[in-house]
Amino acid sequence: MSSSGHDPKLTPHVALLPSAGMGHLTPFLRLAALLTANDVRVTFITPHPTVSLSESQSLTHLFSSFPQITRKQLRLLPFDDLSANSEDPFYYHFEVIRRSSHLLSPLLTSLSPPLSALVTDMSLASTVIPITDALKLPNYIFFTSSAKMLTLYLSFHVMVPNEMKDFVEISGLEPIPRSWIPPPLLQDTDNLLKMLFHRKWQENDRIKWNSVHAVGPLPPFNLEKSRPLAWLDDQPAQSVLYVSFGSRTAISRDQIRELGDGLVRSSKSFLWVVKDKKVDKDDSSELIDLIGHDLMERIIERGFLVKNWLNQEEVLRHPAVAGFLTHCGWNSITEALWHGVPMLLWPQHGDQKINADLVERIGVGMWAKSWGWGGEAMVVKGEEIAEKVGEMMGNGILRLRAAEVRNDARMAVREGGSSYKRLANLIESWKGLV
């Protein structure tokens, strides 16, 4: 992509500032790898400590795989007063980073050679924009969700939630059912998410949003070859359902058991990542206690359960995998699209209903809307889960469409493709700033 080779005068220097949680870190890891491959000098700023073990492990892998990337730590100040009443350790961490942001300016100005630009996670936008404005440093907000979510986001703060009818109307979008909006944003009372995502953007209303550079999907890269899942290798091609709710969604014990029952009843083989705590460090319960002996005996015949982190990339690309029961995290969705895997969509929180709708519209997934948000009072019954799993896994049209979308995604990032060109233009524009 670059014609400049390694001429240091023409090498832009870009710093990346991710936020908390694997869903926010993963796209930054991919961006760091992609920019490095395109002769951009990258400094990766890591808010420290991280919330989860998987974040610190991924960072270690990044820096050992790419020794040319410079690591800078943003040492976070402790704010115990907040943690007591915070409903979510990851949102709490967004706030801790925000409160430590005065440490950022000296860090940015100390970097050498001087920066061409900073790329900031969306959750830190309102905090970091005034800092980079003062430094006259171009700041690109990396939005780690869909364009539709970005549109909703940019318009949401001008609406008064109480005035909302059953549908939210935003120009340029079809009316969005109120029930799809991230629930904390609709609450009357204050919460961390509202403060960070809603009011703070409102305060920064004067900020101009210049242009959007659609460079995704960011191709996955393998930090290291993880231990191959021998069980998957033993399964016939296109036979296995992969079940995971991402890195930070806990499922209630009752729902875990109904889900297990449903998977067994579906008569499909399945690989299931079982998680009952939001943060991996807190997750010490034994599988057998979560699942129970009776169900475990039924599961063993067809299913393989995992309690720890596995490399989802490797699973989705495996020829045995035919479908994905997903919580609709944006990374999980883009990874499934990248690998052409049809989805059964079960959004749990946040932007995930908006994501589910997009996948259903492009014809690569089925969404059982009556299941609602995860964690709602209702527990979805095993019979119903089995029925939907069967429907999705047996749907040849979904599979064909998934293969087409996979192809489109790869064309976009291939030399000459739309995302390839946009990234090349972006890097060229940074060179003008060197």
Binding site for ligand UDP (CB under 6 A): 21-24, 26, 90, 144-145, 149, 153, 182, 185, 193, 197, 244, 246-249, 273, 309-312, 329-332, 335, 349-351
299 close to 260: Cβ distance less than 8 angstroms? yes
Output phi, psi for 8, to 5 deg. -60, -25
Q: Which is nearer to ligand UDP, 331 or 419 (CB)?
A: 331
Query: 12 burial class (0-12, 13-18, 19+ CB within 10 angstroms)?
Result: buried
* Gap between the Cα atoms of 45 and 363, Å rounded: 38
CB of 364 to ligand UDP, least distance (A): 15
121 in catalytic set: yes
DSSP of 129-162, one letter per residue?
HHHHHHHT--EEEE--S-HHHHHHHHHHTTS-GG
In 322-355, which positions are buried (b, 16+ CB within 10 angstroms) versus exposed (e)? Answer: bbbbbbbbbbbbbbbbbbbbbbbbbbbbbbbbbb
133 close to 125: Cβ distance less than 8 angstroms? no
Residue nearest to ligand UDP (CB): 23
24 in catalytic set: yes
Find the catalytic residue in 39, 88, 121, 276: 121
Q: Which is nearer to ligand UDP, 229 or 427 (CB)?
A: 229
Angle between helices 22-37 and 53-65 (to 10 degrees): 10
Length of the chain (residues): 434
Could you identify the residue written with the tokens 């946040």?
350
CB of 246 to ligand UDP, least distance (A): 3
Number of Cβ within 10 Å of residue 239's Cβ equals 16
Q: Which is nearer to ligand UDP, 92 or 430 (CB)?
A: 92
CB of 316 to ligand UDP, least distance (A): 8
Chain centre distance of CA 212: 19
CB of 8 to ligand UDP, least distance (A): 33
Q: Which is nearer to ligand UDP, 89 or 260 (CB)?
A: 89
Output phi, psi for 357, to 5 deg. -60, -40
* Cα-only R_g, the chain: 22
Q: Which is nearer to ligand UDP, 107 or 150 (CB)?
A: 150
CB of 383 to ligand UDP, least distance (A): 27
Q: Which is nearer to ligand UDP, 64 or 109 (CB)?
A: 64
Give which of 232, 377, 383 is closest to 317, Cα–Cα: 232
CB of 317 to ligand UDP, least distance (A): 11
Catalytic residues: 24, 121
